């Protein structure tokens, strides 16, 4: 990282700059007025030599012209030009002041275009830009230019990029980025053979100039006979095949899109530079460049230019007519030409039947059905380069291009779900049914990105069940919800025998044992060898876990997804910060869309070349990306879109992993359970055993509860409430949140009334992620947390009235959304008894008209607990104990005072479940914007 310049250095640089300008002015004057012979000893000898060798010469860069386009046209901005798309603009540009192309030392034009204007794109990045982490995948990998151009800049080799480019990043004080526009006058001066036979190119290419100056006394541009070469088109670029010529190399180096291929020892350029190159080459004596086939019209006849030179004595400016831009999709039916002004082009646009001019954006748009016609005609305009839509788009929108579909929204047929369990199909809400239809229209490959709590699970199971003939099915999920998925399969697919569901719990389990195989991301990467033969149908829950291709989980999943026939990705937050995060998920659904990340990065991640490689952390063309995703990859509905179909509260039972309970706690639980069922125990002893069982349950659940909370945070849940009952649980949760630096509040029995209100307000007003850790009994009343829409119960409580009161902390006036309630239930613990007990109590209340809520209808796994005789006995004991008056107090006190002794459970949590701080990053930036987008028409 470069250090800021001191004031003294700045002054020195400024003084040098002024001197250089003065010398430059003198030189230009000399060139205009002196005879060729005189120029050999003229003031140009005083010009700064190779700056890389002038130790005291700091290179000063200046931010300017923030409106220049980052990737597009670098030509002078015609006053009639349409404004560039600001979202994709570069922020500024860099220049070397001593190389300012002005004859007037004090003149500093507002929109200066100097060497920066003809320097390579690499030079447009600010040195002050922090090295940002590349997101999404091995960003920067696989793009040869990224490494080639940053590595291959040897100073001594004139056929390579000038060192100035590299120095730009090292020595700059100010910081900005952007691509400079080009200065036509300078360009012309660079390429114009001077009256002295010298070429001014040295003045803007200091390193070359230094070299040329060393040969003073001989003409800098020596013409040795005539040299012939030719241009060869290569896709969007063209290559120049010609022998070595110093002056021509200088011209090459002045062109922004230049790239040198050391293997073939040839230079190549984008078509933008074709016109200027040919024009400059025509002016070089002895150089004949055979033009590209069919592109002769790109270049004006040199006679026109020379006419100008003769008349004014000044170099001729290249034509301003060359314009470059791109087509961008703006709706399902229309595309826009994002390009600068060109008279010919406008005339052509006006020939299109579907043309529309947007006075706000000052851009023309057309129906996709006219796309081919327009592009074909544009090809006939040699001075216009209108880049086509990416091929992926033309494939995704073939129907619109071929005019077979004119519907503004996709027409999705109703799928025949007769082969799927009727229980499931009849339970689908209308928007869920539409989701299944979309998935089937997409042949079972999609990213279902519905908002959290909209029932992605039921939709995914239905889609997978539609393809049941292709099972075995693989379901990859965060480990905290493996068993919830098992329960959901049992609930929604009664035709599926539960024994056919294989939940992979350890690395020793087999991944292919069941018809439905449920595995966590982390175990998948350990078991990937078992994935042969591959699964044909795969569900990935929380698919944003795959956003970084460097992770083992992503590396394990991607090959699997590429070969699977059906891929159902589920995520409420597929990208939380930037479009790059979507790349792997798009690749998983549509492997052919953007096989190379770089193409995706250039189009949608505002890719910028930095000294260290490519930076893909930005965004560009998001409207188009949204259209593409909606057309062929993703379905996303927000709660607000379907609120009328949602119940006010959605409850979910989350079966947390029993694997998290360590052997010692399991033994304590078993001992307590045994105590409760031993015949010769007194009532009091049984009750004590029950209290111990309840307390041990709290202890046993801590790792799972914390894992679940961290998974929620990682999934982008910003604000939610976590209720627990035991002090040890509340302590462990707050400790972990502190450790992870997650903003949180805690209200328990020890919180004063004044503090309760303050803390509550603090949570309500918190703009970012925040967790309210609340005691079930101390914070279930009188508080409003309506800024959250999710409540997690880390522990169960025997009194459903208390639970419902706690739920209503979010479900109250001011709540505009449907709220989600997650009950974390651990098998083999007191939850086995508490859960059915709660359900039964609710049922009774409901029958008596005292409760509007029926847990059995609204939660999974009502058959979760099947009682054997021993369990029935414990259940009876629970029922009796909790129904007897006064027991509540006894249990509450016991819970309050419970101390698992030497075990500090918080510290003993498995580190692997607690890795990675999920809230360090700013969340939702992308999707907040995303959701607020309106498709331009
Ligand atoms: N059609 C339905 N009928 C009954 N219950 C439903 C239905 N759809 C969803 N639910 C219930 O709503 C709750 C939330 O569903 P689910 O967990 O699938 O949401 P999600 O979209 O996966 O949320 P998240 O992104 O938070 O995981 C669950 O308890 C689920 O059983």
Q: In this predicted model, what pLDDT tens digit does every residue of 250-269 receive, in sequence order?
A: 889 888 888 888 878 888 98
- Ligand 1 centroid–CA 651 distance in Å is 8
Lowest mean pLDDT among 148-152, 299-303, 783-787, 861-865: 148-152
- Ligand 1 centroid–CA 452 distance in Å is 8
Lowest mean pLDDT among 528-537, 560-569, 738-747: 528-537
CB neighbour list of residue 225: distance below 8 Å, 6 or more residues apart: 286
CA distance 882 to 875: 11
Torsions phi, psi for 734 (to 5 deg): -65, -35
The answer, yes or no, to whether any atom of ligand 1 lies below 6 A from the CB of 572, is yes
pLDDT digits (tens, 9 = 90+) for 739-776: 999 999 999 888 887 788 889 889 989 888 899 999 98
pLDDT digits (tens, 9 = 90+) for 603-637: 999 898 888 889 998 889 999 999 999 999 999 99
Look up the CATH superfamily of 649-828+904-913: P-loop containing nucleotide triphosphate hydrolases (3.40.50.300)
Using the structure block, give the residue that is written with the tokens 């250089």. 20
The answer, yes or no, to whether any atom of ligand 1 lies below 6 A from the CB of 487, is no
Q: Ligand 1 atom 5: the closest Cα is on which residue?
A: 858
Instruction: State how beta strands 790-793 and 323-329 pair.
Output: unpaired
With the most atoms of ligand 1 within 8 angstroms of its CB, the residue from 426, 453, 856 to mutate is 453
pLDDT digits (tens, 9 = 90+) for 195-230: 233 332 333 233 333 333 333 333 333 334 578 888
**Higher-scoring residue by pLDDT: 761, 851:** 761
Per-residue pLDDT averaged across 849-873, rounded? 53
pLDDT over 80 (residue 904)? no
Average pLDDT, the chain: 69
The answer, yes or no, to whether any atom of ligand 1 lies below 6 A from the CB of 427, is yes
- Where helices occur in 258-368 by DSSP H, the ranges are 274-283, 302-312, 343-349
* Beta-bridge mates of residue 520: 477
Per-residue pLDDT averaged across 720-743, rounded? 94
CATH number assigned to the domain with residue range 422-644, chosen from the 4 options 3.40.50.1820, 2.40.50.140, 3.40.190.80, 3.40.50.10810: 3.40.50.10810
Per-residue pLDDT, 148: 28
Three-state secondary structure call for residue 301? coil
- Ligand 1 centroid–CA 228 distance in Å is 71
Per-residue pLDDT averaged across 313-326, rounded? 57
> Which of 217-226, 298-307, 331-340, 891-900 shows the highest mean pLDDT?
331-340
**Higher-scoring residue by pLDDT: 508, 467:** 467
pLDDT over 60 (residue 925)? no
**Higher-scoring residue by pLDDT: 878, 284:** 284
Per-residue pLDDT, 527: 83
Neighbour tally for 354: CB within 10 Å? 15
Per-residue pLDDT averaged across 367-374, rounded? 91
The answer, yes or no, to whether any atom of ligand 1 lies below 6 A from the CB of 21, is no
Looking at the CA of residue 651, tell me the nearest atom of ligand 1. Answer: 29
Lowest mean pLDDT among 48-57, 478-487, 495-504, 725-734: 48-57
CA distance 460 to 542: 12
With the most atoms of ligand 1 within 8 angstroms of its CB, the residue from 432, 458, 460, 544 to mutate is 458
Per-residue pLDDT, 814: 65
Per-residue pLDDT averaged across 491-519, rounded? 91
CA distance 265 to 242: 10
With the most atoms of ligand 1 within 8 angstroms of its CB, the residue from 488, 574, 652, 862 to mutate is 652
pLDDT over 90 (residue 384)? no
- Ligand 1 centroid–CA 715 distance in Å is 16
Per-residue pLDDT averaged across 85-114, rounded? 30
Please measure the distance between the N-terminal and C-terminal CA atoms of the chain and give it in whole angstroms. 44
**Higher-scoring residue by pLDDT: 671, 497:** 497
Torsions phi, psi for 639 (to 5 deg): -55, -45
Per-residue pLDDT, 38: 39
pLDDT digits (tens, 9 = 90+) for 17-55: 667 666 665 665 555 444 443 333 333 333 333 333 333
Per-residue pLDDT, 135: 33
Looking at the CA of residue 457, tell me the nearest atom of ligand 1. Answer: 18
**Residue-by-residue DSSP string for 552-606:** HHHHHHHHHHHH-SEEEEE-S-S-SS-GGGGHHHHHHH-TTT-SSHHHHHHHHS-
Instruction: State how beta strands 608-610 and 744-747 pair.
Output: unpaired
Per-residue pLDDT, 691: 83
**Residue-by-residue DSSP string for 329-342:** E-SSSEEEEEE---
**Higher-scoring residue by pLDDT: 539, 677:** 539
pLDDT over 50 (residue 808)? yes
Per-residue pLDDT averaged across 728-733, rounded? 94
Looking at the CA of residue 452, tell me the nearest atom of ligand 1. Answer: 25
What's this model's pTM, rounded to 2 decimal places? 0.57
CA distance 916 to 413: 43
Which residues belong to CATH 3.40.50.10810 in the chain? 422-644
Per-residue pLDDT, 590: 94
Tokens of 690: 């029950």
The band of 834, judged by pLDDT with boundaries at 50, 70 and 90, is: confident
Per-residue pLDDT, 119: 27
**Higher-scoring residue by pLDDT: 814, 911:** 814
Per-residue pLDDT, 63: 30
Return the percentage of the chain with pLDDT > 70, whole number.
Answer: 61
Q: Ligand 1 atom 22: the closest Cα is on which residue?
A: 456
The band of 507, judged by pLDDT with boundaries at 50, 70 and 90, is: confident
Per-residue pLDDT averaged across 385-413, rounded? 80
- Ligand 1 centroid–CA 644 distance in Å is 15
Which residues belong to CATH 3.40.50.300 in the chain? 649-828+904-913
Go through the chain and tell me how many residues it has. 937
Per-residue pLDDT, 522: 86
Using the structure block, give the residue that is written with the tokens 């709220």. 819
**Higher-scoring residue by pLDDT: 64, 884:** 884
Q: Ligand 1 atom 23: the closest Cα is on which residue?
A: 453
Per-residue pLDDT, 811: 73
Tokens of 170: 């090292």
The answer, yes or no, to whether any atom of ligand 1 lies below 6 A from the CB of 435, is no
With the most atoms of ligand 1 within 8 angstroms of its CB, the residue from 448, 455, 572, 651 to mutate is 455
CA angle 920, 923, 924 (to 5 degrees): 175
Quick one: how far is CA 828 from the chain centroid?
A: 41
| CB distance 622 to 930 below 8 Å | yes
With the most atoms of ligand 1 within 8 angstroms of its CB, the residue from 429, 650, 825 to mutate is 650
Lowest mean pLDDT among 145-154, 213-222, 329-338, 777-786: 145-154
- Ligand 1 centroid–CA 829 distance in Å is 25
* Beta-bridge mates of residue 357: 364
Three-state secondary structure call for residue 764? helix
Architecture of 323-401 per CATH? 3-Layer(aba) Sandwich (3.40)
What is the helix (H) or strand (E) element at residue 932, kind and residue range? helix 925-932
Per-residue pLDDT averaged across 273-293, rounded? 84
**Higher-scoring residue by pLDDT: 489, 845:** 489
Neighbour tally for 353: CB within 10 Å? 9
| CB distance 920 to 710 below 8 Å | no
**Cα torsion for 418, 423, 429, 434, to the nearest 10°?**
-20
- Ligand 1 centroid–CA 676 distance in Å is 36
| CB distance 437 to 471 below 8 Å | no
| CB distance 118 to 255 below 8 Å | yes
CB neighbour list of residue 435: distance below 8 Å, 6 or more residues apart: 448, 450, 459, 635, 637
ipTM surpasses 0.95: yes
Per-residue pLDDT, 67: 31
**Higher-scoring residue by pLDDT: 443, 127:** 443
Which residues belong to CATH 3.40.1170.30 in the chain? 323-401
Per-residue pLDDT, 441: 94
Looking at the CA of residue 653, tell me the nearest atom of ligand 1. Answer: 29
The answer, yes or no, to whether any atom of ligand 1 lies below 6 A from the CB of 574, is no
């Amino acid at each position: 990282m470069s250090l800021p310049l001191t004031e003294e250095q700045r002054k020195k640089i400024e003084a040098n700059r002024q001197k250089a300008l003065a010398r430059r002015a003198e030189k230009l004057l000399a060139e205009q007025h002196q005879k060729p012979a005189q120029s050999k000893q003229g003031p140009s000898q005083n010009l700064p030599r190779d700056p890389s060798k002038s130790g005291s010469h700091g290179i000063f860069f200046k931010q300017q012209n923030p409106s220049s386009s980052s990737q597009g046209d670098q030509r002078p901005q015609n006053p009639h030009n349409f404004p560039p798309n600001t979202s994709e603009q570069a922020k500024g540009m860099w220049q070397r002041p001593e190389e300012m192309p002005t004859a007037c030392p004090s003149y500093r034009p507002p929109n200066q275009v100097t060497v920066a204007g003809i320097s390579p794109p690499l030079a447009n990045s600010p040195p002050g830009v922090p090295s940002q982490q590349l997101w999404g995948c091995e960003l920067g990998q696989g793009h040869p230019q990224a490494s080639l151009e940053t590595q291959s800049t040897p100073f001594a080799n004139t056929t390579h990029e000038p060192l100035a480019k590299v120095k730009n990043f090292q020595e700059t004080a100010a910081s900005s980025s952007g691509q400079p526009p080009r200065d036509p006058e300078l360009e012309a001066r660079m390429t114009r053979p001077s009256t002295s036979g010298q070429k001014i190119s040295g003045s803007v290419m200091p390193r070359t100039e230094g070299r040329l100056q060393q040969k003073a006394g001989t003409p800098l541009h020596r013409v040795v006979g005539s040299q012939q070469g030719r241009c060869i088109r290569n896709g969007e670029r063209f290559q120049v095949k010609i022998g070595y010529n110093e002056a021509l190399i200088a011209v090459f180096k002045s062109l922004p899109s230049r790239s040198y291929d050391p293997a073939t020892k040839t230079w190549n350029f984008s078509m933008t530079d074709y016109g200027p190159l040919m024009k400059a080459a025509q002016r070089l004596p002895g150089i004949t460049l055979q033009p590209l086939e069919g592109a002769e019209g790109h270049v004006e006849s040199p006679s026109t230019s020379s006419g100008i030179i003769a008349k004014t004595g000044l170099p001729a400016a290249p034509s301003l007519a060359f314009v470059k831009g791109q087509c961008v999709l703006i709706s399902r039916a229309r595309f826009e030409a994002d390009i600068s002004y060109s008279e010919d082009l406008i005339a052509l646009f006006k020939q299109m039947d579907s043309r529309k001019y947007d006075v706000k954006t000052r851009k023309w748009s057309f129906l996709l059905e006219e796309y081919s016609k327009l592009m074909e005609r544009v090809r006939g305009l040699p001075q216009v380069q209108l880049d086509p839509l990416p091929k992926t788009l033309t494939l995704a929108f073939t129907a619109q291009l071929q005019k077979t579909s004119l519907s503004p929204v996709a027409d999705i047929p109703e799928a025949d779900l007769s082969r799927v369990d009727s229980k499931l199909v009849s339970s689908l809400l209308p928007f869920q049914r539409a989701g299944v239809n979309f998935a089937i229209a997409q042949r079972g490959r999609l990213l279902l990105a519905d908002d959290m709590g909209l029932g992605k699970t039921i939709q995914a199971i239905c889609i997978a069940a539609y393809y049941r003939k292709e099972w075995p099915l693989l379901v990859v999920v965060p480990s905290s919800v493996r068993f919830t998925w098992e329960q959901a399969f049992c609930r929604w697919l009664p035709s599926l025998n539960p024994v056919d569901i294989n939940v992979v719990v350890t690395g020793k389990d087999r991944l292919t044992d069941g018809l439905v195989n449920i595995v966590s991301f982390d175990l998948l990467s350990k078991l990937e060898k078992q994935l042969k033969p591959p699964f044909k149908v795969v569900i990935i829950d929380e698919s944003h876990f795959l956003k970084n291709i460097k992770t083992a989980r992503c590396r394990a999943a991607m090959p699997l997804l590429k070969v699977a026939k059906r891929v159902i990705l589920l995520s409420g937050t597929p990208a939380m910060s930037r479009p790059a995060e979507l790349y792997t998920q798009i690749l998983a659904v549509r492997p052919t869309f953007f096989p190379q990340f770089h193409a995706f990065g250039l189009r949608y991640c505002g890719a910028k070349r930095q000294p260290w490689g490519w930076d893909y952390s930005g965004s560009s063309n998001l409207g188009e990306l949204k259209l593409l995703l909606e057309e062929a990859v993703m379905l996303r509905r927000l709660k607000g879109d379907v609120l009328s179909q949602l119940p006010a509260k959605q409850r979910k039972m989350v079966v947390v992993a029993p694997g998290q309970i360590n052997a010692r706690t399991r033994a304590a639980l078993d001992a307590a359970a045994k105590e409760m069922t031993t015949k010769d125990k007194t009532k009091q002893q049984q009750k004590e055993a029950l209290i111990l069982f309840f307390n041990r349950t709290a202890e046993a659940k801590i790792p799972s509860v914390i894992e679940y909370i961290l998974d929620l945070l990682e999934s982008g849940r910003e604000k939610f409430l976590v209720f627990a009952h035991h002090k040890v649980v509340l302590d462990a949760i707050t400790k972990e949140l502190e450790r992870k630096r997650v903003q949180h509040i805690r209200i328990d029995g020890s919180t004063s009334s004044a503090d309760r209100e303050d803390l509550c307000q603090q949570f309500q007003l918190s703009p970012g992620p925040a967790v309210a850790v609340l005691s079930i009994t101390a914070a279930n009343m009188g508080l409003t947390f309506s800024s959250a829409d999710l409540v997690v119960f880390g522990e169960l409580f025997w009194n459903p009235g208390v639970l419902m009161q706690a739920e209503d902390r979010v479900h109250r006036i001011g709540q505009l959304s449907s709220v989600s309630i997650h009950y974390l239930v651990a098998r083999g613990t007191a939850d086995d008894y508490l859960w059915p007990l709660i359900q039964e109590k609710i049922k009774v209340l409901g029958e008596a008209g005292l409760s509007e809520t029926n847990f059995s209808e609204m939660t999974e796994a009502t058959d979760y607990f099947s009682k054997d005789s021993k369990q029935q006995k414990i259940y009876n004991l629970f029922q009796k104990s909790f129904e007897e008056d006064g027991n509540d107090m006894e249990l509450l006190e016991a819970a309050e005072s419970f101390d698992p002794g030497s075990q500090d459970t918080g510290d003993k949590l498995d580190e692997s479940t607690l890795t990675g701080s999920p809230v360090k990053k700013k969340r939702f930036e992308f999707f907040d914007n995303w959701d607020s987008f309106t498709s331009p028409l």
